[in-house]
Amino acid sequence: MTSDHSSGSPTTHVDTQLVHCGREPARFAGMVNTPVFRGSTIIANNLEDWEAARQIDNPMSNYGRFGTPTTRSFEQAIVTLEGGHNCLVFPSGLSACTHSIMAFVKSGDHVLITDSVYGPTRTFADRVLRRMGVEVEYFDPLIGGEIRTLLRPNTSVVFVESPGSWTFEVQDIPAIAEEAHKVGAYVLLDNTWATPLFFKPFEHGVDVSIHAATKYIVGHSDALLGVASANERAWCILKHGAHDFGQTAGPDDIYLALRGMRSMAVRLRQHSESGIQLAEYLQTQPLVERVLHPALPSDPGYKLWQRDFLGASGLFTIALKEVGRPALSKFFDGLQLFGIGLSWGGFESLALPLDKPPTRVASATTYPNPLVRIHVGLENIDDLIADMGLAFKRMEQAL
């Protein structure tokens, strides 16, 4: 039951791929799951094996930092699902974002980053990239092919994230990638929201696709992990970038990611369906100004989402009307099933208030009133809707 990069044939459904990808029981005493391999030193049988293992790109490299069979299983699985040339693990989603960028930039370069990028990636760009002499410029996530007006001969990276963090703008990634490639820039995508299932980055011109595996891939809020995949053009640069910084990830976290991944398609069907149902319900609430969810036909990003994506995950935002702090507090007091907490993609529902309006310098749309980001978990949807309904009643009473 060997499964590898070749299993991405059109006749293989993703549910089937998820069950079989990266697994080779015959290599591990018949174990269904590739076990947790802990190790730093890997001992060679003889001088010839030692020398062979030291050759560049040997999949069984000679030191634990470059991965173990557990790592290889996970990498193979991601390559099967996402279709890149190869991929690497990182200890967190953020480190996958930052080290991927670092691999492609040098002092004097110019980088373009979507204005709707994940906040900590933005902080990294503002603090670290600028300190390194890289010019950072943000672009309107709705810019599309007009990004040509911002590209320069020294633009080395265009960093996209679709839909964007908090505000969920869908980007025209094929149009952006086409322009970026004309000046030789690399297109890096934070693909966490869509997961490897709902957006196929390498069919849309992306060079490096990054996931916070912490979210839907792990799926159970019990591990942090990042992964970045590259096409052939970008692979060696990405790999050197990660290895030069000593990036790696522990086998226990990788094991949890592999285990979580097996049920990802089933979980995501539920997250997706419940997410759309809850979003539709919230659209009817008088205190909701707008629901930011690209799979709603009324959403400005709907057409692009429909063209490029294969599904929607369970994360979206509600923009409230001007309700004031006391009423907002009552809303959160009223929620029984939604926890207030960072991250998302686990089995449990979350509702997260944004402390202040999201930092935006290049976006046409801004949000002056409170935003609440919702992650719809695997609870029964009627219970979730009832819980939200009661919380909104409480908020109304406090106005």
Ligand X SMILES: *Cc1c(COP(=O)(O)O)cnc(C)c1O
Catalytic residues: 65, 118, 190, 215
Residue 212 binds ligand X (CB under 6 A): yes
Residue number, 118 or 139, with CB nearest to ligand X: 118
Residue number, 75 or 161, with CB nearest to ligand X: 161
CA distances from 167 to 18, 78, 125, 295, 364 (A): 30, 27, 19, 13, 12
Residues 227-266 that bind ligand X (CB under 6 A): none
Is the separation of the CB atoms in 3 and 24 below 8 Å?
A: yes
Residue 224 binds ligand X (CB under 6 A): yes
User: What character string, x for contact with ligand X (CB under 6 A) and - otherwise, covers 166-205?
Assistant: ------------------------x-x-------------
Q: Which residues are CB-contacts of 314 (< 8 A; sequence separation ≥ 6)?
A: 268, 271, 272, 274, 275, 344, 375, 376, 377
Q: Which of 139, 137, 101 is nearest to 121 (CA)?
A: 101
Q: Which stretch binds ligand X (CB under 6 A): 71-79, 123-131, 211-219, 242-250?
A: 211-219
Residue 214 binds ligand X (CB under 6 A): yes
Q: Which stretch binds ligand X (CB under 6 A): 24-32, 87-95, 243-251, 387-395?
A: 87-95
Q: Which stretch binds ligand X (CB under 6 A): 24-32, 88-96, 199-207, 387-395?
A: 88-96
Handedness of CA 235, 310, 214, 143 (dihedral sign): positive
Burial of 335 (0-12, 13-18, 19+ CB in 10 A): buried
- Out of 14, 78, 89, 94, the residue judged to bind ligand X by CB under 6 A: 94
Burial of 150 (0-12, 13-18, 19+ CB in 10 A): middle
| Residue in the shown chain whose Cβ atom is closest to ligand X | 93
Query: Distance between CA atoms of 218 and 71, rounded to whole angstroms?
Result: 14
Residue 118 binds ligand X (CB under 6 A): yes
Residue 162 binds ligand X (CB under 6 A): no
Q: Which stretch binds ligand X (CB under 6 A): 61-69, 210-218, 281-289, 331-339?
A: 210-218
Query: Distance between CA atoms of 308 and 189, rounded to whole angstroms?
Result: 14
The shares of helix, strand and coil residues in the chain, as percent rounded to the nearest 5, are: 40, 15, 45
Q: How many residues bind ligand X (CB under 6 A)?
A: 15
Residue 291 binds ligand X (CB under 6 A): no
Q: Is it true that the peptide bond before 163 is cis, omega within 30 degrees of 0?
A: yes
Residue number, 156 or 191, with CB nearest to ligand X: 191
Residue 97 binds ligand X (CB under 6 A): yes
Residue number, 94 or 206, with CB nearest to ligand X: 94
Q: What's the first-to-final CA gap in the chain, in angstroms?
A: 61
User: What character string, x for contact with ligand X (CB under 6 A) and - otherwise, covers 322-361?
Assistant: ---------------------x------------------
Q: Which stretch binds ligand X (CB under 6 A): 61-69, 207-215, 274-282, 390-398?
A: 207-215
Q: Please tell me what DSSP assigns to residue 136.
A: E
Is the separation of the CB atoms in 188 and 207 below 8 Å?
A: yes
Task: Give, for 329, the enclosing helix (H) or strand (E).
Answer: helix 325-334
Closest contact distance (angstroms) between CB of 160 and ligand X is: 11
Binding stretches for ligand X (CB under 6 A): 92-94, 97, 118, 161, 165, 190, 192, 212, 214-215, 224, 226, 343
